[in-house]
Amino acid sequence: MKLLVCALILGALAASSASANPFARNHRPVINGSITVPPEWAGIWQSTDSTYDCNGVFQSMDTFLDTLCAGVTFESDTTFSCTGGADGTTFFQHCIGSGEIFTDCNYTFDINTHGTRSGDSFFSVSVFSTTYTGTGKGCDFFQDSCTQTNTHSTRTGPAPPAYCATPVVGTSWGKVKSQYR
């Protein structure tokens, strides 16, 4: 689902394994909203994402390591709207947004994520839907899409204190690029 709009606007959020984990420190932060990582979720996690289209057809699998630090709050300065929360055993997040790709060509996205932790494992499900509307020249090239990512994770160790001592600052891609020009 690596669509131009998602890549430009969400940093390929809908195609990323990190999107399935709103706590992800080493990946993209959640969008305009905040979730603070509860202490019960802290640690190094080995995760496997299985991604399907919304008809249940398998698309891809990805395995990665991620470190979650207790008390870290992820925020972003985008204008999309998210709600959600987390406690010691569950998390949920719902994000919606829309915008203009170019004159008379618009997108709308809806992302729903929820997960449950039990001891040193968790399972989460994320559904990403993107729709396109408009009659602008070229808008018909954008196809509506829907994917579901199922994430199975196992904690492999505690979060390293030195790693978690480094603060995470939410920022936009434009702000990061401007620092390197």
Q: Is the pLDDT of residue 175 over 50?
A: no
| Distance between CA atoms of residues 115 and 33, nearest Å | 17
Cβ neighbours of residue 95 closer than 8 Å, sequence gap 6 or more: 30, 31, 32, 33, 80, 81, 82, 109, 110, 111
Which of helix, strand or coil describes residue 121?
Answer: strand
**CB 101 within 8 Å of CB 139:** yes
C-alpha distance from residue 44 to each of 36, 63, 92 (Å): 17, 13, 20
Band the pLDDT of 150: cuts 50, 70, 90. very high
The alpha carbon of 163 is separated from its chain's Cα centroid by a whole number of angstroms, namely: 21
22 neighbors 45 (Cβ within 8 angstroms)? no
Does residue 3 have a pLDDT over 60?
no
The pTM of the full predicted model, rounded to 2 decimals, is 0.71
pLDDT tens column, 48-77:
999 999 999 999 999 999 998 988 876 544
- pLDDT greater at residue 109 or residue 3: 109
Residue 22 clears pLDDT 70, i.e. is over it = no
- Give CA–CA dist 128/56, Å, rounded: 13
DSSP 6: H
Confidence at residue 24, expressed as pLDDT on a 0 to 100 scale: 44
Q: What's the pLDDT score for residue 71? A: 85
